[in-house]
Amino acid sequence: MSNRSLHTEFFRLLKNHRADNVFNPWTDRNARDDLATNGPEARCRRLEAHLSIQPTHLLIGEASGYQGCRVSGIPFTSERLIAEGAIPRLDTHRGRLSTRHIPWSEPSATIVWSTLHCLGIADSTILWNAFPWHPHSAAESHSNRTPTPAERAQGLPVLQALLSAFPRARLFAVGRQAERALLEMGRQASALRHPSMGGASQFRQALKAALKP
């Protein structure tokens, strides 16, 4: 990131969060299916690599998912995409991340990264979430749920630290939760349909249209 103090504050806020029915990928170990070589330290290193540019675009999503960021440490990014070498700035030679019989693959992650590559902005884009941690149901950690308004508010200081580090990047809100969070901060962003639940074509078309001169 551009400023060391912002970098330090960003990770401090990110790591310090604790809440019921919320998994923190950068502090918590996923004993259920993390390999010995994966865990919070590894996920922090991956996130640092992801943030190691001056981006032209920032895509802000809603929350981390159990098939993606919970395992990988990077929003909209799955274990399978990392293994395939589809994620810029990441070392793909460290092997698998989980003990699952096949690599975790998140549909939204696949759609987002394929679109970024197709539009030629994968190398200049940073991905984040308004609620950066993984909210799940009380009964099942391998589940996703929508953050509550109170939870979304808890993610705003982390989001502000990120935005402050990259003031020149253009903002995109992926989904209504992200759009609300940015509006609560007084920030304007290009609104994109979330690619989940049948929104892939609308997401691709909206991002392509927004990038036209």
pLDDT digits (tens, 9 = 90+) for 62-120: 999 999 999 999 999 999 999 999 999 998 766 799 999 999 999 999 999 999 999 99
Give Cβ neighbours of residue 113 (< 8 Å, ≥ 6 apart): 76, 77, 81, 86, 87, 122
pLDDT digits (tens, 9 = 90+) for 158-183: 999 999 999 999 999 999 999 999 99
Minimal CA–CA distance to 150: which of 177, 176, 114, 123? 177
pLDDT digits (tens, 9 = 90+) for 9-57: 899 999 999 999 999 999 999 999 999 999 999 999 999 999 999 999 9
Minimal CA–CA distance to 177: which of 204, 149, 158? 149
- Strand locations in 52-160 (E): 57-63, 125-131, 134-135
Residue 1 has pLDDT above 50, yes or no: no
Q: Is 202 helix (H, G, I), strand (E, B) or coil?
A: helix
- 164 touches 95 (CB < 8 A): no
Higher pLDDT, 8 or 33: 33
Residue 185 has, within 13 A of its CA and on its CB side, a CA count of 24
